[in-house]
Every structure is written in structure tokens, then in C-alpha cells.
Amino acid sequence: MKTDIDIFEGGRKLPVMEEFYSIQGEGFNMGQAAYFLRIGGCDVGCSWCDTKESWNAELFPPVDIDPIIEKIIKSPSKTVVVTGGEPSNYPLDYLTSKLKKNGVRTMIETSGVNVLTGEWDWICLSPKQFQPPVKDMFEKANELKVIIQKSLDLKWAEKNAGKVGKNCLLYLQPEWSVVNDIMQTITDYAMEHPEWRVSIQAHKYMKIP
């Protein structure tokens, strides 16, 4: 997100929606403890988004990120997951440089609609059909996580799988509101195409953030 005035002070301030310590519930890192930093503001607008309250960045005035960095550094897991909203809207070099200097593992979840800033140990790319990722995101992704709402979405998944690097892990994740209807389709597909793994939103089953 670009503005005429640098209200983010080069990344020293960010529109933080919420922060909390919990368990990663999705994808390759599922089950791992991490400090979650959710940044407000997203113009991708997925109809099935479970954090629509994060979309309007004006609801989250930029705050000093240094106190949050200190909390992350002191967290037992020494791992952060930056999510949104859409975190690639913002300058993230300052955040990650401070964390990396203090031995924190940096992970991000992004739709990849913007050129990503910051230094990342793990990039989870979750592409959306109506606003696809920028080209360079595919080669950076460690994990491709495609949300499946209907069987036709599997074609979109394969299209994106053809663009990522050979070491990128491939995940199909059922959209939560139709999980009972689509899960069999996804599991059948993963068994026929074992390069794909199935991701579930385990944190929702565990009833944790």
C-alpha cells in the first residue's frame, strides 16, 4: 500500500490488527507454536475470508512496531507468522531485520499480489483467482496453499503449481464453510496426485485463534 506521506516510517510503524501467541493451524508448519502478527488492510476481498474485519486498513492506524518486536523475541517459540489482511501491502524490511538479528524464525502468509519485502525463512503463498500473484512470488514460495471451494478450483491449483519451484510444497485446503462437502473431492485428488498434500484448518477444530 503506497501513500504520498510515509505514515509507516519505513516499516517502523504498521497497521497492526491483532497479535497473539498460539499454534499454527494450517499447512506445512501446522502444530507449531508461533507468535502471530496480523496486519490490517486487504484489497483482495475473498468472499469466503474468515477475517473480513481486517480488510479496511483505516480501522487500524499505524502503531510503533518495536514493542511488538520485543514481545516476539521473548516468546518461547522464537517464531513469528505475519499474516493479514494482506501483509505484502507494507514495508516489512525493518520488522524482519530486527527479528532475524535476534534469532527469530520469520514466516509469512500472503496472496502474493505485491512484491514482497523483508527477509523470510518460510513463505506460504496462497493465490487467489481474481487477483493473481505477481510473477516473482512463485519462485520465492516455500509452500503453495490453494483454497478449494469447488472442484473446478483444482484446475487453478494445478495452474499455480506449474509456476512454483521444484522444492515448493503443494497443499490443497478446503474452504471452511464447505469443508464437509468438498473434503472427499480433495482427498481423492490428493491420492491420485500424491505431489499434493491436504491442509486443514486445525486451529478451528482445536478452537484456538
Q: Is 144 inside any structural domain?
A: yes
Q: Does the pLDDT at position 124 exceed 50?
A: yes
CATH number of the domain bearing residue 15: 3.20.20.70
Phi-psi region of 138 (alpha: psi -120 to 50; beta: other; left: phi over 0): alpha
Q: Does the pLDDT at position 190 exceed 80?
A: yes
Q: Is 2 inside any structural domain?
A: no
The pLDDT > 70 percentage for the chain reads: 95
pLDDT for residue 206: 84
Per-residue pLDDT band at 204 (split at 50, 70, 90): confident
Residue 6, C-beta contacts closer than 8 angstroms, at least 6 positions apart: none
pLDDT for residue 118: 98
Q: Is 34 inside any structural domain?
A: yes
If one counts every other C-beta atom within 10 angstroms of the C-beta of residue 155, the result is 9
**Mean pLDDT value across residues 33-41:** 95
Cα 48 to chain centroid distance, Å, stands at: 15
| Cβ–Cβ under 8 Å, residues 5 and 50 | no
| Cβ–Cβ under 8 Å, residues 34 and 79 | yes
pLDDT for residue 47: 67
> Distance (Å, rounded) from C-alpha 5 to C-alpha 10?
11
Q: Does the pLDDT at position 50 exceed 80?
A: no
Number of domains present in the structure of the chain: 1
What are 60-109's pLDDT values in tens digits?
999 999 999 999 999 999 999 999 889 999 999 999 999 999 999 999 99
Q: Is 86 inside any structural domain?
A: yes
Q: What is the DSSP letter of 4?
A: S
Per-residue pLDDT band at 198 (split at 50, 70, 90): very high
Alpha helices in 82-178 (DSSP H): 93-101, 136-140, 153-161
Residues spanned by the domain of 178? 9-206
Q: Is 28 inside any structural domain?
A: yes
Per-residue pLDDT band at 22 (split at 50, 70, 90): very high
**Mean pLDDT value across residues 152-177:** 97
> Distance (Å, rounded) from C-alpha 62 to C-alpha 71?
17
> Distance (Å, rounded) from C-alpha 101 to C-alpha 99?
5
Q: How many helices (H) and strands (E) does the chain have?
A: 6, 10
Q: Is 3 inside any structural domain?
A: no
Per-residue pLDDT band at 41 (split at 50, 70, 90): confident
Q: Is 1 inside any structural domain?
A: no
Q: Locate cell 493473481: which residue?
A: 132
Residue 130, all three cell numbers: 481474481
pLDDT for residue 1: 46
If one counts every other C-beta atom within 10 angstroms of the C-beta of residue 74, the result is 10
Q: Does the pLDDT at position 9 exceed 90?
A: yes
Q: Is 119 inside any structural domain?
A: yes
